[in-house]
Amino acid sequence: MELKDLRVNGKRLQKTLEDMAKIGATPGGGVQRLTLSDEDKQARDLLVKWLKEIDLEVTIDEMGNIFGRRAGRNNDLPPVMSGSHVDSQPKGGRFDGILGVMGPLEVLRTLHENQVITERPIVIVDWTNEEGSRFAPAMVASGVWAGALDRDWAYDKTDINGKRFEDELIRIGYKGTVPCKKSPLHAYYEYHIEQGPMLERSGKTIGAPKGILCLHWYDIYLEGEANQVGPTPMEGRHDALCAAAEMILKVNELPERMGGNMVATVGEIQNYPNSRNIIPDKVHFTVDIRSWDDDLAIDAWNKVSDDFKQIAARRGCPLRMEETWRVEHSPFSEKLVQGILDTAAELGYSNLHMISGAGHDASYMNQLAPTAMIFVPSIGGRSHVEIENTTWEDCTAGANVLLHTMLRSANEK
């Protein structure tokens, strides 16, 4: 068989995705595999088993990143890498992240069974803690590998119950001995569901984003004064939750106020003591700002943080604001993006040049090597929820595009 006629096994890809979806399965049809949980360990164990079945050289680094390396004709050349993550959001979807690991696994299985030897090595990777839902921020381990984040800083991150990242990494047996340190790459591809509605709306099968929006995360801490709700007059209260409510509305109004292409979200909130008959005295909430324009996002934060200060002063609630994470927008390699569009057309798949509104490990890989992503439609544009869905036909189509784009890059001398 000529390389141009090679195709992945769509039924096998479906089976691996369905097997992974059983790990941490939720009643609503989604998955819950939070980073470094028991479910995360089960998924990792299964992935390692599958990697070894096709004779890949498996290594695990000190951040728990899992790498499977397939030798090439010239192993001194920098490899082509592809991967994503197996961790999920709480009650998340069964395609987010995991498709980007099972996709390249299917590519490597196809090459293995057809005895295809590429000029360069190929590496599949599962990045630890892409979601950041248990240990904020997101994309921590790829950030450490890229040299953008400090390993010990990441080790000391704690979840809502005070459990440390490093301790949980050790607990599940995935703190490897290989240094979490970047190495030369020829190209990086990440395969993913779109997580938005654009492909479905346009009736296209394959998306090739020109890049990823900037991502800015902030943590806001407010202090009020607790008291019994009945005897305490409304006048003179220092209600931390009311102050937070005003601030949250300011975040929601921010994109329209800035008049630019951006989104702003409050996605997490903790209220203390969280009792119906006690005035709240502490609130923690998060702010997420995203845009293709880094300066616009920074200007937006400066404006809304000034609003926060005014609200806090007026309500008598001391305020603390922390910048948790900031990643600049990531324009991808025009050559690789065009290669994805061309490959999709050659394989008979309709395609769309677009932008990624979600964050991905590709943001950090883009700082090290030519990078591109392959998207397939999310039904209804839904993601990070249990009803997240993508057709098996589209999963197979994206994997075929990944196969041939990786082959092209892996055979470059």
What CATH number does residue 237 fall under?
Answer: 3.30.70.360
Q: Name the nearest CA neighbour of 53 among 122, 109, 115, 116.
A: 109
pLDDT in tens, 246-264: 999 999 999 999 998 899 9
Of the pLDDT bands very low, low, confident and very high (cuts 50, 70, 90), residue 293 is: very high
Q: What is the mean pLDDT of residues 154-172?
A: 97
- Considering the domain architecture, whether residues 205 and 335 belong to the same structural domain is answered as yes
Of the pLDDT bands very low, low, confident and very high (cuts 50, 70, 90), residue 334 is: very high
CB 188 within 8 A of CB 365: yes
Position 363, amino acid:
S
């979490």: which residue's tokens? 180
- Considering the domain architecture, whether residues 174 and 242 belong to the same structural domain is answered as no
- Considering the domain architecture, whether residues 141 and 223 belong to the same structural domain is answered as no
Would you give the DSSP letter of residue 79?
P
Give the pLDDT score at 168: 98
- Considering the domain architecture, whether residues 288 and 336 belong to the same structural domain is answered as no
pLDDT in tens, 221-247: 999 999 999 999 999 999 999 999 999
Distance CA 393, CA 401 (A): 13
If one counts the domains in the chain, the total is: 2
Distance CA 305, CA 293 (A): 19
Q: Residue 358 belongs to what domain range? A: 3-213+329-410
Of the pLDDT bands very low, low, confident and very high (cuts 50, 70, 90), residue 207 is: very high
Q: What is the mean pLDDT of residues 309-336?
A: 96
- Considering the domain architecture, whether residues 179 and 192 belong to the same structural domain is answered as yes
Q: Last residue of a domain, which of 327, 346, 375?
A: 327
Position 309, amino acid:
K
Neighbours of 57 (CB within 10 A): 13
Give the pLDDT score at 358: 84
- Considering the domain architecture, whether residues 92 and 200 belong to the same structural domain is answered as yes
Of the pLDDT bands very low, low, confident and very high (cuts 50, 70, 90), residue 357 is: confident
Lowest mean pLDDT among 302-306, 314-318, 360-364, 390-394: 360-364
pTM for this predicted structure: 0.87
User: Which CATH number fits the domain that encloses residue 64?
Assistant: 3.40.630.10
Position 334, amino acid:
E
The three-class DSSP label of residue 81 is strand
CB 133 within 8 A of CB 52: no
Alpha helices in 181-239, H assignment, sequence order? 198-202
pLDDT in tens, 269-282: 999 999 999 999 99
- Considering the domain architecture, whether residues 67 and 161 belong to the same structural domain is answered as yes
Q: What is the mean pLDDT of residues 23-46?
A: 98
Q: Last residue of a domain, which of 327, 353, 383?
A: 327
Would you give the DSSP letter of residue 212?
E
Q: Name the nearest CA neighbour of 144 among 242, 61, 57, 254.
A: 61
- Considering the domain architecture, whether residues 198 and 222 belong to the same structural domain is answered as no
Q: What percent of the chain has pLDDT over 90?
A: 97
Give the pLDDT score at 359: 83
Token pair in block for residue 232: 């305490």
Give the pLDDT score at 1: 73
Q: Does the bond joining 273 to the residue before it have cis omega, within 30 degrees of 0?
A: yes
Mean pLDDT of the chain: 97
- Considering the domain architecture, whether residues 242 and 156 belong to the same structural domain is answered as no
Q: Last residue of a domain, which of 307, 327, 347?
A: 327
Maximum separation of any 2 CA atoms in the chain, in Å: 82
- Considering the domain architecture, whether residues 174 and 252 belong to the same structural domain is answered as no
pLDDT in tens, 86-114: 999 999 999 999 999 999 999 999 999 99
Q: What is the dihedral of CA 71, 68, 404, 368, to 10 degrees?
A: -100
Distance CA 292, CA 232 (A): 47
- Considering the domain architecture, whether residues 14 and 121 belong to the same structural domain is answered as yes
- Considering the domain architecture, whether residues 323 and 333 belong to the same structural domain is answered as no
